[in-house]
Structure formats: C-alpha cells, structure tokens
Structure 1
Amino acid sequence: MFTSDKLRLSRRQVLASGVAAGALSMAGMPAFGQSSQINWKKYAGTKIEVNLIKSPRGETLTKFQKEFEELTGITVVSEQTPEQQQRQKAVIELTSGRPSFDVVHISYHVQKRQFEKGKWLADLTPFINDPSLTDAGYLNDFAEAGLAFAKNPEGGFGALPFSVDYWIVYWNKELFAKKGLSFPTTFDEMVKAAVALTDPANQTYGFVARGMKNANTPVWTSLMLGYDQYSVDGGNLLTDTDGAIEAAKLYQTLMTKAAPPGVAGFNWAECQSAFLQGKIGMWFDGVGFAPPLEDPEKSRVVGKVGYGIMPKGPKAHAAATTGDGIGVTAASKNKEAAYLYCQWATNKLMGARLLQAGAGVPFRNSVLADAEVRKGVKMPAEWVDAVAGSAKISRLTLPVIIPVTEFRDVLGVALTNLISGGDPAAEMKRATAEFKPILERSEKA
C-alpha cells in the first residue's frame, strides 16, 4: 500500500498529480489506489450490492462510495439497515443460498462463528495472495486482534478487519460540576455518581445504557469483565456464577435508580438521543457513537462531553471490545469486484477518515501511529486518549460462539426483567438453565 513518505505528500503535490481535492482526508493522505500496482479498472462495468449496518461506520462508507466507483468503474448499490434488522436479513438471505448482496458488513463479536459454520463467506485468501488484486504485505499493517477476528478455523480469511470498538463512558461535565463530582474511577464510585446526578423532578438522570432485549446483553457482559469473568470460557457457560450475578445486580441498580423512564426499550440510538439533550450524566456504549455529540446542529452538549475509560471493577480493569469486518458472500458471482470494495473499505485513507471523524477506530496500525492523521482528528483529544487507554485494557465482551444471537436473546430477557424488579440471582439462573442446552448442542455440532 502506501509508504510513510507517500502518506505525507503535501496538498499541493497531490493536486499537481491530478488527484481531486475531495479525495483527501484532513491528514493530507493521497487517494486510495494512487500508489498501487493493481489494475483497479479490471472489473469496470460490474455492479455489486453491498449490505451495511446503519452506524457511523456504515455512513462513512456510503458517504465516500462515489470515490470507489470512480477508481474502479464498478457500480455500487448499498443499503444501510439498523443493526439487529441487518443481522436478521443477512442470516435469512445467506441461509437461502441466494443472497441479494455481494458484500456484507459483519459484526465479528456476534456473527463470526455463525458465518463460519454456514460457510457463507468466500475465502479471501486467494485474492489476498494474488498480486494482480492485492499489494504485497497488505496484511502486515493490521493489528493482531483484527487478524484473529478475521481468520477462520482453517487459517483463511472470510472477511477483512474493518474497525474495532471499545466501550467507554460518555459523561456530561456540566452536570458533574453542578454536583461537585469527579469522573468515577471504580464501579462503586460510578453508582454513587449516577444516583447523585439523578433528579426526576428536573428530568435529569445519572446513567443510561441499552435496556432493550438482546441489545442490553453486552452492557452486562462488559460489567462482568470488571469481576474478572467472561460469560463463556472454554465452552463452559458462566452466566449464573457469583461474578455474573454481581454484574446483574450492578446493571439493575444503575438502570432502576439512575436511568430515565422507558429505558427497557432503549437501544444505542435512544441512549444517544437522550444524552444529546443534556439531561444524562453518563452513557455507557461504544466509542464510535461520539460524532453527533460534538455536532452543534444535533447536540446540546457540545464542549461539555467527557470521554472516560471504563472504571475499575472489584477484580479487574477492563474495556469491553467488539469489532467489525467486511467480506464477500460465497454465493456472489462478482467476487473479485466485491473484494476490491472490501480492500477500499479497509484502506488507510478510510481508516483515517473513521478515526478523524470519531466514527470508529481502524485495525490499521499505521493509521493509529501516524502523527499527521492524529492532528486531523475532529474529536477532542480526550476522545483519542479514551481510545488509546481502552486499547491497553481491552477484552472481548461477548462470547465467540455460534448461537450468540440466542445468547443475547435469552440473557437479554433476564436483564430486561431486572429493570422491572426481577431478582438477579433467580433471573440469571433461569436464563442460564434455558440457554445451556442450546450452547451444548452447538459445541457438539
């Protein structure tokens, strides 16, 4: 791909070479494909369909889609669908063997094992090793975590690593200041701050996170990490252990004593909307949801937002981590053209755009290490610090199992019941008993 010297071409040099100004990122990186030996026009005239998750990352790909079309001559028809609907649509179509799309945006932390078992993705290894399709050393720039996510059990690549998402605590500095509070450093301090910030008479609440069934499960498993525990370890289900129950109690406390009314129906979008209004003290979710918070046209908290690393739990300090990839369907009749789109989606320039806009964190090491790229980050320096700090204590938040959707559904019902006053120990034991045979069947298969 690009060398570090080429990454630092001046704007005048790039313009002189005939590259459009609109193809530049804020860091002055050259347009993708400029230094490549690949014949990007090889599949000109081809049309591909792309299935994306509606998110800041999907929106970034759509925003710059025309750039790829001009580079390759390939026509792209893309669709963005809300996360849960996108996953359902993808599974239904891929199971049929006749998906309407050639490229699919995959949530590694939810879909990896399921996609591998179904053999729904094309093996990209031959394309990666083909010098007419991929530059030498292409994979050398990806973080090990991304490569581990992307590799299938046979050692091939079913998708290219796109972005990593660390879960952080967004906090309203103005509300904290009014109460004379500092950002919490432990779980206990987080609860105390959340309760202190809550004032229903003024419609102000100390904490918000996902309460909707299925969407709420990673909130709880993230809290479990603070008790130094995973939900599944070595094929063993650990969701009714002392650590799991304590995490459930903590979830219940935060969501009943400090969250706004109706939180049981909140996914990330509802949480973000509530925080944007300036009436929420803390919001716990992925780092990639930050851009609207600093947009004056959408936010009442511009300049008031703090970006904090997850506070320490009783037994561990951990930042919950999820990740996205982008791959080619095994049923696609345009695999090479679709693969070129995946390359473009994961290139350094796109990674810089994600980082600079606060829309996500790329798996590309050179992007994160590039001082010029960091200068162009729109988000406050505190956001970048939260990314860097979270990376040091990163742990996967969801189990890498095939029935992860069922896991989220079953445990998600239990968590929603907690918001209605359910007993944490009873709900976790019931849900564990319900899900255990599902996991056992999956592991045997």
Structure 2
Amino acid sequence: MSEITRRTALRGAAGLLAVPALVERANAQSAFDWKRFKGERVEVSLVANPRSTLLFQYHKEFEELTGIRVGAEQIPEQQHRQKFAIEFASGRPSFDVINISLHVNKLQVGRAKWCTDLRPLIADASMTAPDLDMADFGPAAVTYATQADGRLDTLPLDVDHFILYVNKDLVAAKNVAVPQTFDELYTAAKALTDPSKQQYGFVGRGLRNANMTLWSSFLLGTQQRDMIDANRKLITDTPDAVWATQQYARLMRECAPPGANSFNWNECQTTFMQGRAAFWIDGVGYAAPLEDPKRSRVAGKLGYAVVPAGPAHRHSAFFCTGLGISEASQRRGPAWFYIQWVLNKQNQLRMLATGAGAPTRLSAYANEEGLKGSTFPREYFTTLAESIRIARPGLPEIGPVTEFRDTIGSALVNVLGGADATAELKKATDAFRPVLEASEKGA
C-alpha cells in the first residue's frame, strides 16, 4: 500500500479549505458578538481524557473572550455514560453541554431527542461566529454525528483513530521490522517477549467491553469488516469473526503481560510508558503522555505506524465524540458559544499539535506553521494522515451498543482464558441477536 506523505495530506486539506475561506469573508460583517451572554454561566460535563484536560487548561481564555463563567467536570468514561443517561431521563440534567461518545450513545441520544438540533443555531448569523466554517469539518465526522432523521444534535469534537505504537529501542535491539500485517505483528511480538526481563512484545485491552475496540481492528482486516450486515442482522460468529478472535487471542495470550485480560487503555498506557511492551494498538489520543519525558521512559523513542493489514483489508478503526446541548437547558446561548469556542481552529490545532487527539477540522492539518512547534515527530502526523485515509467505524451503529460490547466482550474474555473461539462467538451472537432485533423494532 502506498504511504501518504504529510505534505500531500496537508495540500489536500488546504484545497478543501478554499470554500470555508470564502464563507469567512462572506460572513465577516455578521452581527455575531462573543460578549452577547456576558455575565451568564454554562455547566459542562466532559469525559476524562487528554482532550478534556487540554480544554480545562484554556477555560479562562473562553471566560475572558465571552464573559461567560464555566462550571466544568471531567468524569471517567463508563461513569460518565451512566451519569448523563440517568440525568437526561430525569428531565433535569445538571449540565448544559454534554460530551457524547457517538460510537456508543448516538442512537440512544438521538431517539430520545435529549440534545438540541444545532442546525437552526448554525444558520443564525447572530448566534454563530463567522469562523465556525462547517465546511472545515471532515465530511465523514459530520455524517457520523448526524442522526438518521437529519438532526445534527452534536458537533464532532475528535476522531480517535487506532494506530500502532512502537517502542523503537526494543524493536531495534533484535533488528525487528515494523510489522505490516497481523501475522507479522504476532511473529515480531513473539520474538520480543521475554517474561524473565518483564519485557513483552504486545500490550492491548483485554477487559470486557473495552476489548471490543481492539478486536474490531482485526475484524476490519477481513473480507467481512462489519459486525452487522446490510439487513441489520448480527454477524459476529462467521469464519472471519473467528479468525479475528484467534489473532487477537494469540497475541494477548502469548505476547502480553500477565493480567492483560483485565487491562483497559490506562493499564496498557502505563505498561507501554514503562518500556515493558514493544507494540501497542490503541487510539491516537493516548500519545501525549508517552512523549512526556517526566512521565515516560519511552519519550523520544516512540515509533508510530498504521494498524497492520489483515488478509483482505487494511483499515484504522475510528471512534468519534461530539458536543451537544441539553434540550432541557435554559442556557442554550452560552452553551452554543462554549461549543463554538471548543471547536475553534486554535483549539483544534492545539489538540493535534500536543497529541491530545485527532481534530475534526481540516484546517488543523493544513497549518504547517502551527505544527512546527509540536514536540511530536513527523512520523506521528504522517501516520495520522494515513489512518484518516483508511479509517472505518470500529463499532456498528446500533442502539444497545454497550450491551453488545459486554456480550461479545465476555466471549473474548473467555477465549483469552482458553475457551474455543467458534463456540464462544456463537453463544454470544445467539444471545445478542434478539436484543438487537428488539432494538431495531423500537422495543
């Protein structure tokens, strides 16, 4: 597969930015005023991750720009999903702005109409800053954030592409090449595994539910690629699904540290930061701590590559988050101003340059000057550009996605424990099929 260069990607993004530039000039004389809601307050509920941490650093900038005070919280992902669902269902949520994991909660939020349709606000020149530039957002991300009925009830914040992290020291010590296929990844990881030195060739998510996002990377490499078919039927017990499970399991069983069956991303990140693993497949948003010399033993020694290819395809699984306004909010104006500030070009560039995530605005990738000051190597940006080109959703767009991840994730845990992949996938698929069918019927 031909590698896309950063310069090529940036030239393409720059071309796409020509239309937004015209929009900016056309709206230059709009009636928009950042101080319109001066003295008011907005409550924001965010998932605890590097993107939110970055935003917290600059909240004072928003308050000075608008005169709006920010009350914000960061909550771990699983607890955050439970909290906002309970509060939305109560009819009196404590937040005005909510951070949604679209790959998990899009249909849930959309069907309940918990969030405001943003299209009227976007169309109102007195409420929307001229530089919002909807044409500057990647079309795939906007499509991902749009509900089936056309409502745009969130704006996409970031697209979390899965990539391959490489410990260059461990790889160089045995003259191992960066793997291009999953078979090569297994061979390399096996060669680099030495439990006597607490050194392992691979680390990845094994915890139930969390393991699904890694497993999907293997399935995307098969001819099947999808977890539901064109008729919205579950297909997670096919020969391709079994192959994906076996590839995932042999890496985790034979090349990962003890206890990896219970690892989520944070345990994987810690292991990799300690220099105890040669390869790690996970989201781009976890890169920043790895490059921090005060926290990481592998800082400055990292390699980045696209996820290896399977027998039929090479895809980077992506997962998208968005920001929405509670339909029950009495402060929609301040909430909308906050979302616009979060998604401005400067903040999106900050996200990219600091390694906090992959922004959805194309202008970030075209900002050569802004990226010059980044501490990340060029390989990081070329890997991200290539991952964007081969990106494909890492989870099916269904309502009961958490239950789906739990059910199939339990099967994966059992396989990691030694159970037969074919039998476990069939059992899990049979168990979840009626759940999906009921959801599709609106039950």
**CA deviation profile, 1:115-144 (whole Å, cap 9, x unmatched):** 101111111111111111114572111110
* 1:173 counterpart = 2:160: no
- Partner SS state of residue 64, structure 2: helix
SS at match of 2:43: strand
* Residue in 2 that maps onto 1:72: 66
Give the letter for the 2:207 counterpart: M
Question: Deviation string for 1:88-116 (max 9, x for gaps)?
Answer: 11111112211111111111111111110
1:109 counterpart = 2:109: no
Equivalent residue number for residue 295 of structure 1: 292
Residue 402 of structure 1 deviates from its aligned partner by 0.8
CA contact (8 A) 2:291 2:300 kept: yes
Give distance in 1, aligned partners of 2:144 and 2:390.
Answer: 18
Q: Distance in 2 between matches of 1:273 and 1:35?
A: 50
Shift of 1:153: 2.1
Q: Distance in 2 between matches of 1:159 and 1:336?
A: 15
Q: Would you say the 8 A contact 1:171–1:281 is kept in 2? A: yes
Letter in 1 for 2:423: A
After superposition, residues 86-101 of structure 1 pair within 5 angstroms as 86-101=80-95
Matched residue SS, 1:252: helix
Deviation of 1:378 (Å): 2.3
Other-structure match for 1:11:
none
| Maintained 8 Å contact 1:294/1:303 | yes
Give the match's secondary structure for 2:121: helix
Asked if the contact 1:226/1:312 (under 8 Å) is kept, the reply is yes
Aligned residues: CA RMSD = 1.7
Counterpart check, 1:327 vs 2:324: yes
Amino acid at match of 1:357: T
Query: 2:126 matched to 1:139?
Result: no
* Structure 2 unmatched ranges of 5 or more: 1-13, 18-27
Which one of 199, 208, 213 corresponds to residue 204 of structure 1? 199
- Which amino acid in the other structure matches residue 100 of structure 1? S
Kindly report which structure 2 residues correspond to 1:196-235, keeping only aligned pairs within 5 A, or say none: 196-228=191-223, 229-234=225-230, 235=232
Structure 2 letter corresponding to 1:325: G
Tell me the distance in 2 between the aligned counterparts of 1:275 and 1:334: 43
Q: Would the aligned equivalents of 1:278 and 1:301 in 2 still touch at CA under 8 Å?
A: yes
Q: Which deviations, in whole Å up to 9, do the C-alpha atoms of 1:244-299 show, x marking residues without a partner? A: 11101111101100010111111101100000000101111001110111111100
Counterpart CA distance in 2 for 1:281 and 1:410 is 30
Give 1:331-370 correspondences, 5 Å limit.
331-370=328-367
Residue 309 of structure 1, CA deviation: 0.6
Residues 154 and 325, structure 2, Cα contact 8 Å, conserved in 1: yes
Percent identity of paired positions between Structure 1 and Structure 2: 48
Partner of 1:195: 190
Task: Give the residue type in structure 2 aligned to 1:49.
Answer: E
| Pairing 1:186–2:181 present | yes
Q: Decide which of 434, 438, 443 is 2:440's aligned counterpart.
A: 443
Secondary structure of the structure 2 residue equivalent to 1:323: strand
Secondary structure class of the residue paired with 1:188: helix
Q: Which residue, out of 114, 123, 129, partners 1:120?
A: 114
In structure 1, the residue matched to 2:258 is: 261
Deviations 1:348-381 (A, max 9, x none): 0000000010111111112212222232332111
CA distance in 1, matches of 2:73, 2:247: 38
Counterpart residue identity of residue 120, structure 2: P
Q: Which residue of 1 aligns with 2:157?
A: 162
Work out whether residues 98 and 325 of structure 2, in 8 Å CA contact, stay in contact via their aligned partners in 1.
Answer: yes
Report the AA paired with residue 233 of structure 1. Answer: D
> In structure 2, the residue corresponding to 1:237 is in which secondary structure?
coil
Instruction: Work out the CA distance in 2 between the residues paired with 1:240 and 1:368.
Output: 39
Task: Report the Cα offset of residue 35 of structure 1.
Answer: 9.8
Unaligned regions of 5+ residues in structure 1, if any? 8-33
Aligned residue number for residue 282 of structure 1? 279
SS at match of 2:73: strand
For 2:52, the equivalent position in structure 1 comes to 58
Aligned residue pairs, count: 415
Deviation at 1:86, TM superposition (A): 1.0
Q: Secondary structure at the match of 1:236?
A: coil
Choose which of 227, 231, 236 in structure 1 pairs with 2:233.
Answer: 236
Q: Which residue of 2 aligns with 1:31?
A: none
Query: What is the distance in 2 between the residues matched to 1:119 and 1:233?
Result: 26
Counterpart CA distance in 2 for 1:53 and 1:204 is 32
Is 1:48 the counterpart of 2:42 in the alignment? yes
Q: Distance in 1 between matches of 2:89 and 2:245?
A: 34
Tell whether the 8 Å contact from 1:127 to 1:336 is kept in structure 2 after alignment.
no
Does the CA contact (< 8 Å) of 2:41 and 2:68 recur in 1? yes
Q: Distance in 2 between matches of 1:35 and 1:247?
A: 55
SS in 2 for 1:301: coil
Matched, 1:387 2:384: yes
TM-score, reference length from structure 2? 0.91
Paired residue for 1:425, among 422, 425, 429? 422
The secondary structure found in structure 2 opposite 1:170 is strand
